[in-house]
Amino acid sequence: MVSDRTRTDLDNDRMFQLALTRLLEIIGEAAARVTQAGQTRYAEIPWPQIVSTRNRIIHDDDTVNDDVVWDIATLEVPALIVALERALPGHVS
């Protein structure tokens, strides 16, 4: 979603802002559903931080920091995808 987009796009495109924030919520919700055994097995993935981010977005949506959203989407999510691809080869696309 952030390919060919800029941080300025996030400021100027409310639909993009809402969509990107929603995707982070979905990632956090999915992480919250990973069993404790799964979290332990794939301890290199920062499960608590992912869930915590989701909780902050959901419960403090009026104070969501767009700089943080952008950094998560452009820096953290790509690293998460790499970690998931290593942990679950053939299951992440």
- Residues belonging to the active site: 54, 59
Positive/negative CA dihedral, 15, 16, 21, 27: positive
Give me the amino acid identity at 89.
Answer: P
Give per-residue burial for 52-89: e unless 16+ CB within 10 Å, then b. ebbebbeeeeeeeeeeebbebbbebbeebeeeeeeeee
User: Which residues does 51 contact at the CB level (< 8 Å), separation at least 6?
Assistant: 28, 31, 32
